[in-house]
Amino acid sequence: MPGYCAFCLGPAAAGKPWCRACYAGLPHHRHACLQCGDVLKVNESRRCGRCLKSPPPFEATHVPWRYEGDIAATMQRFKFQADRRAGHLLAALMDEGLDSLSFAAPVGVLMPVPLHVSRARERGFDQTAWLARQLAARRGWQLLEAQRLRATPSQRDLDRRARRRNVAGAFRVPYALPETVILFDDVMTTGATFASLAQACRDAGASKISVLAVARTPSRDHRIC
């Protein structure tokens, strides 16, 4: 409803689909590893120990929200109920969140993590591709596409190692890429899917790869203590 906050239905801030109080109360993703985006422990600085020991094949992660509370509820309405209003709200939150992170894209090239065609048919749409189109339109970015070679089982109940095995070699980019590419997904958990797609991008010629996601699920061993 125009003029009303999407969360509390009170008066919205000027030009925004939320009020200032609800926006401030959302689960902002702060104090995160610059490379993988996971929550940092209090004794870690800039990069987590995992990235220092075994860095992923991408240089930076930019995720403005945690997958909790109203962000998780909005994502679930969009992803599993195809709630278009929730989708537009997520796109606006992603755009606003990137500004709060002072994100500046070196080039306007965005590649969403592709959903396998069988999964897209089952769900009725590709939620990540839809959000990527909205974000690209807002930011004036070019969209690139990758191919998902197989329908991998859901990552939901898999641990970190199993997730890496599950998506290893799952993607292909059948054309030469520019040097810098930005990957995009709706939710980031361990980063295994991003790592697999990033490797496919490196095989296609990209050398500077960063990742974006709307929300991040903090790993169990990187929660703030």
Residue 20 lies in a domain: no
pLDDT, tens digit, 9 for 90 and up, residues 145-154:
999 887 665 5
- From CA 122, how far away is CA 19, in angstroms rounded? 35
Residue 173 lies in a domain: yes
Residue 55 lies in a domain: yes
Domain count, the chain: 1
Give the pLDDT score at 223: 42
Give the pLDDT score at 188: 94
pLDDT at residue 159 above 70?
no
3-state secondary structure of 88: helix
pLDDT, tens digit, 9 for 90 and up, residues 54-97:
999 999 999 999 999 999 999 999 999 999 999 999 999 999 99
Residue 1 lies in a domain: no
- From CA 121, how far away is CA 133, in angstroms rounded? 19
Q: How many residues are listed for the chain in this entry? A: 225
Of the given ranges (11-20, 157-166, 192-201), which has the lowest mean pLDDT?
157-166
Residue 170 lies in a domain: yes
Residue 206 lies in a domain: yes
Structural domain of residue 91, as residue ranges? 28-222
Give the pLDDT score at 222: 44
Phi, psi of 3 (to 5 degrees): 90, -5
Tokens of 186: 């709706």
CATH number reported for the structural domain that contains residue 129 in this entry: 3.40.50.2020
Q: Which residue has the higher pLDDT, 31 or 67?
A: 67
Q: What average pLDDT does this structure show over 125-138?
A: 93
Phi, psi of 13 (to 5 degrees): -65, 155
Residue 21 lies in a domain: no
Give the pLDDT score at 163: 63
Residue 23 lies in a domain: no
